[in-house]
Structure 1
């Protein structure tokens, strides 16, 4: 979605909050690829204004409703000194609503926290611990919130069997004639039947939690004064899920020495110091709210997320690059090779990873 500001539409939306372009300034905020986010500045108040991408989020009202439920719960925990981070609440319109519909677009206003910054990569083990601790504190604070009260924003988002079925359909149709370029990679995915069966069995016994489902470091705000996380942001994909999903996404995005489209796979390694710090921070912050089976599942989650996103990249490549933005025709194939190789590396050192987690 374009971030180019339409003055007429923006003024209509700002009016719901008693602002306009005559008494405030507005500029794009952040580098998110899904929603369009702006910072609104005035003499007396600053806030974030966001247009939700209704192509990705088919029911934007559900995204807003989920965020409202989560932040109300976190504000209660904060008031009880049971949540050390800052909840990011949505602002009410003049008539007490938390969303604005203008034409085909849905908007919301969100609290702005000053004197903070975001990061794109984890620099060291100390920072990795902070990342895992913050996301763990978020889940721990929501551990007594009934996860089934949240709407499943993207159905079967982390359901491996569903992603494999999508891949099988893409292979069967081979609409773009690309299968010959990646047949060995497809065969590798479907050969992992022992791992696939293990995932299906775990999903039957793990307790559902409210999970963030996008636990990259850039979904944290860091204090400019302390350089520590002060808020978890981007709650759009918060849904019922398993802690292994959130931990696995942290491992996927923090523990590889290459970017997810890096092609020099012979040089790919698992950053074990970062993995150890992530595991320590996550287990520490979830002490008392995560059972022993969930803790053991972290090792599986670390392998699952790169395996699953690798399958998604591969599916999108075969289908013709409809979902993920690509910079060149082989981009999704490179990503798939990268993520599936990282899965293999993690799978090969599973005993070493298990030893790390068992010591915690």
Structure 2
């Protein structure tokens, strides 16, 4: 049944290939993604975009396709084989649309699969951190001249600090006494950092830091590597939208430089890895430095602090709201995640002068 359904959807696109079989790719948390194996290469990645999470799916897919075409044009000097490994490519439907909507209202898009490539769930050495920095830096560099007014804001107020504090304050009003008591130290920490954590947003709103294309989900698993661990390209561009460079830099640092898992409860194991920070930053600036203003570069370390904080704030807010947003495995899972992020932030703060 699933095979016939996927085969039928695959046939709605222009690709000149014959469906053979499929494999489900289970790495994502939101969308359904399938590797479509064809009788002959190339293979394809067929994706159903979750329209329950994303309210404007056509806008989202059009963002992805527009950015892909922009990068292809910027890299058009490369040999065809090399170009096809360094940028995502999308197949249009038979009606020349960027997506297909099935009879149940689901939206689908089709990408060319990049052979002989791999991803990393975590960073295990400085070389991967350095190459990751180069990949995400190159993405920002290649899109630095793209007109962001043409992009849909797929998740409104995603990194808006005032919005996140507003959610937090609402949670304080409705939280149970038990959860408020448990969260006292973390709540005090959030209140204490409020002014510092608004600096980047204020600079963005004043226009001192410009809006640009940002990926907004720069964990290392969204970077594609060759078999010899060299960076190829950025993938999973569902959240591409207008933002500031510090969002992408900071979120990558948040996920790469934690010495423990995001929900590790032994906080003695949680610290900020400056070796990975230095390696990532070196690769990142090698690729994007010429596209950045002196002010953007100056505030990159604060981007790391801000993105770690905003994730801790969101986990704490969800804990106070009785866990309505993030999936949890036990009653205090979100609280443990929040404490983990705040410990990481404290570790970074101790080393802040060093990384500046």
- Could you say which residue in structure 1 is the equivalent of 2:94? 94
- CA shift for structure 1 position 130: 0.4
User: C-alpha separation between the residues in 2 aligned to 1:197 and 1:287?
Assistant: 24
User: C-alpha separation between the residues in 1 aligned to 2:119 and 2:325?
Assistant: 26
Which digits, 9 at most, give the CA deviation of each residue in 1:241-296, with x for residues without a partner? 11111111111011111111111113322111111111111111113111111111
Which digits, 9 at most, give the CA deviation of each residue in 1:61-105, with x for residues without a partner? 111010011011011011045997611121112221221111121
User: C-alpha separation between the residues in 1 aligned to 2:12 and 2:242?
Assistant: 32
User: Measured at CA, do residues 14 and 201 of structure 1 come closer, stay the same or move farther in structure 2, by a change above 3 Å?
Assistant: closer
Which digits, 9 at most, give the CA deviation of each residue in 1:112-136, with x for residues without a partner? 1111111111111111110011100
- Could you say which residue in structure 1 is the equivalent of 2:225? 222
Contact kept, 8 Å, 1:176 with 1:318, in 2: the verdict is: no
Q: Does 1:327 align with 2:329?
A: yes
- Could you say which residue in structure 2 is the equivalent of 1:232? 234
- CA shift for structure 1 position 347: 2.1
RMSD: 2.3
Q: Where in structure 2 are the equivalents of 1:268-287 lying within 5 Å?
A: 268-287=270-289
- Could you say which residue in structure 1 is the equivalent of 2:164? 163
- CA shift for structure 1 position 338: 0.5
- CA shift for structure 1 position 175: 6.3
- Could you say which residue in structure 2 is the equivalent of 1:358? none
- Could you say which residue in structure 1 is the equivalent of 2:310? 308
- CA shift for structure 1 position 23: 4.5
User: C-alpha separation between the residues in 1 aligned to 2:10 and 2:253?
Assistant: 40
- Could you say which residue in structure 2 is the equivalent of 1:34? 30
User: C-alpha separation between the residues in 1 aligned to 2:161 and 2:237?
Assistant: 22
- CA shift for structure 1 position 25: 0.6
Q: Where in structure 2 are the equivalents of 1:59-70 lying within 5 Å?
A: 59-70=56-67
Which digits, 9 at most, give the CA deviation of each residue in 1:318-346, with x for residues without a partner? 11222212111111110000101211221
Query: How many pairs were matched up?
Result: 349
User: C-alpha separation between the residues in 1 aligned to 2:117 and 2:349?
Assistant: 37
- CA shift for structure 1 position 32: 0.9
- CA shift for structure 1 position 314: 0.8
User: C-alpha separation between the residues in 2 aligned to 1:60 and 1:200?
Assistant: 26
- Could you say which residue in structure 2 is the equivalent of 1:194? 195
- Could you say which residue in structure 2 is the equivalent of 1:357? none
User: Measured at CA, do residues 197 and 323 of structure 1 come closer, stay the same or move farther in structure 2, by a change above 3 Å?
Assistant: closer
Q: Does 1:114 align with 2:115?
A: yes
User: C-alpha separation between the residues in 2 aligned to 1:116 and 1:279?
Assistant: 23
- TM-score, normalised to structure 1, is 0.91
Which digits, 9 at most, give the CA deviation of each residue in 1:163-218, with x for residues without a partner? 11111111112269632321221121011133134234332311111111111110
- CA shift for structure 1 position 59: 1.3
User: C-alpha separation between the residues in 1 aligned to 2:13 and 2:68?
Assistant: 20
List runs of 5+ in structure 2 lacking aligned partners.
none
